[in-house]
Amino acid sequence: MLNLTFISLIIGLIALIIASLSDIRTREVPDWLNYSLVTFAIGSALILSIYHGYAHLLINSLLGLALGLIIGLLMFYTGQWGGGDSKLIIGLSALIGLSFSGFGQGIPVLIIFLVNILLVGAVYGLIFSFVKAVLNFKNFKKAAEKRLRSKEVLVIRIIFLVIGISAFIFLLITRSIESVLLFAFVMTLFIFFYLWIFVSVVEKTSMIKQIKVKDLTEGEWIISNVEKNKRIILKPTRTGVTLKQIALLKKHRIREVTVKIGVPFVPSFLIAYILTFTVGNWLAYLL
């Protein structure tokens, strides 16, 4: 069982390396990889359950599959991940498995892995956006200055300034833990506000482009209505364009569409996977 567990760990690592390279080069994760990962995860768990007579081995894998399915569908239908990313999470969750009995011995490995994805993904996304901003600095600077001068942003900045000064005065007067927490909360909101502006400007200047319909692939996000002769042919969706919709565009001889290029997030899955199985349950130090 130990040998097969180690093999499963290596299979997951290899799958993530292949998926990361594919995501960086093509912004896609091949279906054959995801389906093979699910098949191996369930198949190996079934073999182990039959060989050792422990049904919980298969149950753990199925529970992991179920949790991965829920998270994958949630992220896909909210437009956060593409279909390939979501399927990969489903396969990895089935491979790692979820044991309810493991809660008595600490947080299950799968939960640690998913938390790591969340944290690593946030840092990874910011670094990716920063690199994009540097590479397209002239366009980014111009768009950022325009965004910061917009009326709605100016109003929000004034509101934050008033609240921030009030929280700081309250901190100086009371010097209580409550005033410290209030000031920290206001500053955190202030930072997140500017991070939101930063990411949105990067997206507008570096991740939106025109591509030919013949180069359009399933899952890409069209961000505006596609029209011909003042008639809407296709509307944007959170889940990306389908093969049927691509065929529809070709049928109407649409040459180009405007799409948003997503962040290749799979490398962050790889980093989270390595952290999970090298560092272990780091949450134990915080709880």
Phi, psi of 99 (to 5 degrees): -110, 120
pLDDT of residue 278: 87
Strands 256-260 and 208-212, by their bridges, are antiparallel
- Ramachandran area for residue 79 (φ above 0: left; ψ -120 to 50: alpha; else beta): left
pLDDT of residue 63: 92
Per-run averaged pLDDT (10 residues), the chain, 287 residues: 70 94 87 92 87 81 92 85 89 87 66 90 89 88 88 86 87 82 86 87 84 80 81 81 84 84 87 88 58
* pTM across the whole model: 0.79
pLDDT of residue 285: 57
Answer for the pair 179, 166: CB distance below 8 angstroms, yes or no. no
Cα–Cα distance measured from residue 176 to residue 213, given in angstroms and rounded to the nearest whole number: 61
pLDDT of residue 2: 47
User: What are the residues whose beta carbons fall under 8 Å from the beta carbon of 83, sequence distance 6 or more?
Assistant: 76, 218, 219, 239, 240
In this structure, the number of other CB atoms found within 10 A of the CB of residue 131 comes to 12
- As a dihedral over the C-alpha atoms of residue 146, residue 147, residue 150, residue 152, rounded to 10 degrees, the angle is 180
Closest CA to 102 of 92, 113, 117: 113
pLDDT of residue 1: 47
pLDDT of residue 37: 93
pLDDT of residue 40: 92
